[in-house]
A and B are shown apart, each in its own frame.
Chain A
Amino acid sequence: MIEIKNLHKSYQMGKNSLHVLKGINFSVEEGELVAIMGSSGSGKSTLLNILGMLDELDEGSYTLDGVPIKNLNETKAAQYRNKFLGFIFQSFNLINYKTAAENVALPLYYQRVGRKERQEKALKYLEQVGLKEWATHLPSELSGGQKQRVAIARAMAAEPKVLLADEPTGALDSKTSYEVMDLIQKINDEGNTILLVTHEEDIAHMCKRIVHLKDGVIVEDKKVDQVRAEQYV
């Protein structure tokens, strides 16, 4: 599903060049649930941004579902993001003047899906995250966990190949974190590929595979026995 070879990325900080990713080789199969771990500055968010086509790679290659991702202009990148990827952010990033259902329907709007179908799908995915009765509420009327579940529904709505989650539980207390992880595990159980950036050990162990990043290189890549979040809920 994801194939990365010899990935390099550096940022210009004034006169100095900051080499963030120093040759990453990494692949993800369909249906995997991968946690990317590392201390801050290890390059995990940069990696996720490159995977999410929000940032460009300097060197190396990136193939997503057999499609080489390189030299994309903004328009093409936007289309690929819409088609291949679903994003889940730490701070939810819901649009605050749109209701839960409208937020979920937004990626479908950019897929040119008709209004009726958008609404139906939005409700379907809200139901999947257990928030159907909150469909007409604004984000300001939802709790943090509910917001993240709406965000997950939004990421799912476009039926992407890969879900990318950047610290999805970073802004939540542990109980809500486990609820969200439970949802993510269930989505994974249905065969969806999920990449998740976190720095919390317990969250990482709820995935099937943990990739450790340190100073821009992968220091450890291991399969783990998944801890089900259900038991903590």
Chain B
Amino acid sequence: MKFIFDRNTWQEIFGSISKNKTRTIITIVGVLWGIFIYIALSGAAKGMDNGFEKVFESVSMNSMFVWGQSTSMPYEGFKTGRPMQLKLSDVTTLENRIPEIQNIAPRITLGNFGSDPVFTVRGQKSGSYPVNGDYPVYTRIATKKIFDGGRFINDEDIAQARKVCVIGERNLQELFEKDEDPIGQFIRIGDVYFQVVGVHKLSQGVSFDNDNAIFIPFTTFRKLYNTGENVDYFCIAAYDDVDVVQVEKDVKSLLRNIHRVNPEDERAFGSFNLGEMFTKVSGFAKGMTFLSLVVGIATILAGVIGIGNILLISVKERTKELGVRRALGATPKEVRSQIILESVFLTMIAGVMGIILGAGVLSIINSLTKDLDFPYTNPTVPIPYVLGALLIMVVLGTLIGLIPAQRAVSIKPIDALREE
């Protein structure tokens, strides 16, 4: 071990490497290319992964929607084609019976799914916008970024059925003057005046709502429009570690049970499973990461084998030199260590250069894709991957160096010195 930390050893190795420049450069290029490909590929894959992640950042990744359609099978005396209406009471039943559900938000809307948007007025300005009746729990499933000074609908609003609303960025632009503070102002939605309590920001990625959606308390909505217990659809978020596809099946089967629908009737309730979508997309990104890892490591391997190959040839060239060294008193261990350390040293230099080059290319890719409308963010290679690659290189460098080193030692000094 002392040998490795001896300054003299490194001077000897550095001398041997720096004075055979062509050999050194050719050797380095092989590994440099390998590690460069590895870093660039896995960084690019990571960038795509990050990009998808960002697209889904404002919604719960384990979420889904359920809505009522109409039955396609007769059951218990009911005819086929009976329209299904979700009820508020379903929420409690679902929560009690399906423990995998983390949050469940009943929603009711105007302006979506074919119904007319609501005509909204403020002073001289007006527009028609979708209006949603919501509970505060909705923000646990779809994050709503609210501009400073505002808030989303809270429990008090629900309890007292307050006439408050949260508007979108576009409502703000279309209904208010520039630089005007909307918080505390009143707007008329349909026939009723509402006080604005917050403005929500449009999220970049996947979102359930447009930037012109107006949110009012669910209880206010049902009083105004006389919808009673009716719910348009449920947003359901499952816990992180559960299988959303199974939860989706359970929810629909339970709803069929509550609403007295044939258990076989798949069409009575519609659903959309975001978790499943997300799993597919992130599975694709993970596949890319894995592929790039495999390709990268294979390229590194090829590069290291290249180093071994060149060292092996150079050992043949250097037979005489190594013979002289041994005649002058180099022990087989010293000769072997020198060849191996040369190999490891070259591998390391090439590796570090490749990492720097790869990082450079990633930063260029990053600056080029920054403003593109493309799911691609922050292409990085995690430090453990880099360290892992370095470790692989050192180990492979040592192993591959063993071959020429063993050959160098196996030639007897007398044979090495014999006249050619």
Contact = CB atoms under 8 A, between A and B. Distances in A.
Q: Do A and B bind?
A: yes
Interface size class of B (residues with CB under 8 A): 20 to 34
Nearest to B9: A109
Given A97-B16, A97-B20, 19 more contacts: A49-B414, A54-B417, A74-B326, A74-B331, A74-B332, A74-B409, A78-B330, A78-B331, A78-B332, A81-B327, A87-B327, A95-B325, A96-B321, A97-B15, A107-B329, A109-B8, A110-B334, A112-B8, A114-B8
A115 B6 CA distance: 11
Contacts of B419: 90-91
Interface string B1-40: 0000001100110011001100000000000000000000
Interface of B: 7-8, 11-12, 15-16, 19-20, 320-321, 323-334, 409, 412-414, 417, 419
Contact of A106 (B325, B333, B412): B325
Contacts of B329: 78-79, 81-83, 107, 110-111, 158
Of the listed residues B16, B332, B412, B414, the one surrounded by the most CB atoms of chain A closer than 10 A to its CB is B414
Interface residues of A, number: 32
B328 A87 contact: yes
A154 interface: yes
Given A54-B414, A109-B12, A115-B11, A97 B19 contact: yes
A110 B8 CA distance: 10
Of the listed residues B20, B324, B334, B412, the one surrounded by the most CB atoms of chain A closer than 10 A to its CB is B324
A75 interface: yes
Of the listed residues B8, B328, B409, B417, the one surrounded by the most CB atoms of chain A closer than 10 A to its CB is B328
A98 interface: yes
B327 A52 contact: yes
19 contacts: A54-B417, A74-B332, A75-B333, A78-B326, A78-B332, A81-B326, A82-B328, A90-B419, A93-B323, A93-B324, A94-B324, A96-B321, A98-B15, A110-B328, A110-B330, A110-B334, A112-B8, A114-B8, A115-B7
Dominant secondary structure at the B interface = helix
B183 to A, nearest CB: 76
A138 to B, nearest CB: 9
Contacts of B321: 95-96
Contacts of A82: 328-329
A75 B15 CA distance: 24
Closest 6 CB pairs of A and B: A82-B329, A97-B19, A110-B329, A54-B414, A78-B331, A107-B328
B328 A55 contact: no
A154 B330 CA distance: 14
A146 to B, nearest CB: 18
A4 B332 CA distance: 27
Contacts of B414: 49, 54-55
A125 interface: no
B330 A98 contact: no
Interface of A: 49, 52, 54-55, 74-75, 78-79, 81-83, 87, 89-91, 93-98, 102, 106-107, 109-112, 114-115, 154, 158
B328 A79 contact: no
Nearest to B333: A75
Of the listed residues A82, A94, A112, A115, the one surrounded by the most CB atoms of chain B closer than 10 A to its CB is A82
B11 A98 contact: no
Nearest to A92: B324
Contacts of A107: 328-329
Contacts of B320: 93
B408 to A, nearest CB: 12
Nearest to B6: A112
Nearest to B12: A109
Contacts of A95: 321, 324-325
Contact of A158 (B8, B326, B328): B328
Of the listed residues B327, B414, B419, the one surrounded by the most CB atoms of chain A closer than 10 A to its CB is B327
B8 A115 contact: yes
A105 B12 CA distance: 11
Contacts of A74: 326, 331-332, 409
A75 B8 contact: no
A91 B417 CA distance: 9
Contacts of A106: 325, 328
B328 A81 contact: yes
Nearest to B7: A115
B50 to A, nearest CB: 49
Contacts of A158: 328-329
B331 A79 contact: yes
A87 B325 CA distance: 11
Nearest to B16: A97
A184 to B, nearest CB: 18
Of the listed residues B8, B12, B323, B331, the one surrounded by the most CB atoms of chain A closer than 10 A to its CB is B331
A55 B11 CA distance: 31
Contacts of B8: 109, 112, 114-115
Nearest to A118: B8
Contacts of B324: 93-95
A89 B418 CA distance: 10
A74 B324 CA distance: 14
A106 B329 CA distance: 9
Contacts of A115: 7-8, 11
A117 to B, nearest CB: 11
B171 to A, nearest CB: 78
B417 to A, nearest CB: 7
Contacts of A49: 414
A164 B333 CA distance: 25
A111 to B, nearest CB: 7
A94 B327 CA distance: 12
Nearest to A113: B8
B414 to A, nearest CB: 4
